[in-house]
Structure 1
């Protein structure tokens, strides 16, 4: 009896997707750093020798609305804001928008191919051949996944620039130092990369889970065996599911399926006995 191969999580595909997302994030972040150097740093350098808090007596006169320092700072903040708007538009239109459709489609195609091969290998190990045919459901799943990934990719620059505006403009108004604002921008860059990693891993697992379910149903299978990743990052409840058989109708517990919860790297394996019995009867 041939050993049933394990269904592998699409790690390579997720890493490749993440690397491409980081490439876009780097371009966007470089634009932001350019604005920081050209527009923000001079404002902060000019005020490094004074208390820049709006509560400082040095900053106000009896008529604060006509204070030259305040008027100048307001003008500079307006200029910074316009610069941020320009680079946000450039990042969205010239960086992300140019590649988003191809990036999403390429990723979905790779995960789709990976999933088809993984399930096919298991079926051939049991039956000696793969009777699976093209399933229209797979195309619909892939189409929906592309749409979702386009939405997620486009959300990256929007979220980044929302936070960047807050960090820079609030930082200037609050009188934060150059180093403090630069540190917050670096943290934002790291957070954005981590979000891209979550998107890549989560979408890879979710799509593989949907495709595996569709392939199993195409075979007439009603059950699956939960296979956990068996490392330190696996959820305890998913570790408890490991090796147990569940139905595609109910899942494990309250409708939980491999790959469908956020950041889940578990996979679904076919149940050898079910496939053998079904094909013997056929």
Structure 2
């Protein structure tokens, strides 16, 4: 069961309410990863098919230590051009879906948290929220486009090494499967990390619109390699200005929960003035 909003009094006697945190939605992360994996899988199968055909056509020359590199490079670059275009076209729609999904879900979650605390609000798409949403979409467009760029560059390197050393198609295919696994793990990381970052940024924008100015740091405890400074901030129930963030001594600057790579921390906004 979710933790309730807590009401308390400060040492100065002011009444305040500490709200529940807005957590990233696991369903959005899973669906984002699934859509990325579908694109990556189609690209990988296409690469295997076309490279297998080109490799077999040139295999006698490879076995004879000749260099059919130009033919294979042309096949690789023709295919790369098609898949870069495919990801370019898909990136805008997928990033827009992701950004809107996180915005809708985080706003709905914050609205319910506020309602449970006795505050009724109606959220609208303000210029500040649009700026954060646009930045989220643009960041994810860039990340999605980087997936085929990295994968196809690695594949071309593997193909050229195979030609240089006279390796057979089975050995090349095995290396390409390894590259495929690396690419899928990177897609999983993008989905998880961007879900954390987008939820944190959009929730923060909503909190600032409501005039909230302080929050309590909450350490997630979910990562394999937690940051010690974040663990301490969570234990100490460290408070920080929402507009400025918390000064993290490990990175030497102010941050918000979920901003750093693999950070799954969240925060609890504080509302003052309750009787």
Do the structures match in fold with TM over 0.5?
yes
The gaps in structure 1 that reach 5 residues or longer are 53-68
- Which of residues 224, 239, 244 is equivalent to 1:245? 239
Return the alpha-carbon distance in structure 1 between the equivalents of residues 245 and 223 of structure 2. 27
The counterpart of 1:222, out of the listed 184, 205, 213, is 213
Query: How far apart in 2 are the matches of 1:229 and 1:43?
Result: 54
Q: Which has the larger radius of gyration?
A: 1
Which residue of 2 is the match for residue 86 of structure 1?
78
2:33 matches 1:37: no
Alignment partner of 1:97: what SS?
helix
Structure 2, unmatched stretches of 5+, are: 6-19
Question: What displacement does 1:233 show?
Answer: 2.7
Residue aligning to 2:196: 205
Superposition pairs of residues 252-271 of structure 1, within 5 angstroms: 252-253=247-248, 254-271=253-270
User: Structure 1 residues 155, 134: CA separation in 2 closer, same or farther (over 3 Å shift)?
Assistant: closer
Cα distance, 1:43 vs structure 2: 4.0
Does residue 141 of the first structure (1) align with residue 142 of the second (2)? Answer: no
| Mapped contact 1:81–1:165 kept (Cα < 8 A) | yes
Structure 2 Cα separation of the partners of residues 169 and 33 of structure 1: 15
TM-score, normalised with respect to structure 2: 0.82
Is it true that 1:19 corresponds to 2:14 in the alignment? no
Higher helix share: 1
Change (3 A) 1:137 1:38: same
Note if contact 1:212-1:268 (Cα within 8 Å) is conserved in structure 2.
no
Work out the number of aligned pairs and report it.
251
Distance of 2:124 and 2:152 partners within structure 1 = 46
Residue 268 of structure 2 is aligned to residue 276 of structure 1: no
Root mean square deviation, CA, Å: 2.3
CA contact (8 A) 1:141 1:211 kept: yes
Moved more, 145-154 or 16-25: 145-154
TM-score if structure 1 supplies the norm length?
A: 0.81
Q: Please say if residues 257 and 267 of structure 2, whose CA atoms lie closer than 8 Å, have aligned partners that are also in contact.
A: yes
Q: Are the counterparts in 1 of residues 52 and 169 from structure 2 also a CA contact under 8 Å?
A: no
2:151 equivalent to 1:160:
yes
The 8 Å contact of residues 223 and 264 in structure 2, kept in 1 or not, is answered as: no
State how far apart, in whole Å, the 2-side matches of 1:124 and 1:169 are. Answer: 61
Structure 1 contact 127–276 (Cα < 8 Å) conserved: no
| Greater fraction strand | 2
Per the TM alignment, residue 85 of structure 1 is displaced from its structure 2 partner at its CA by 1.1
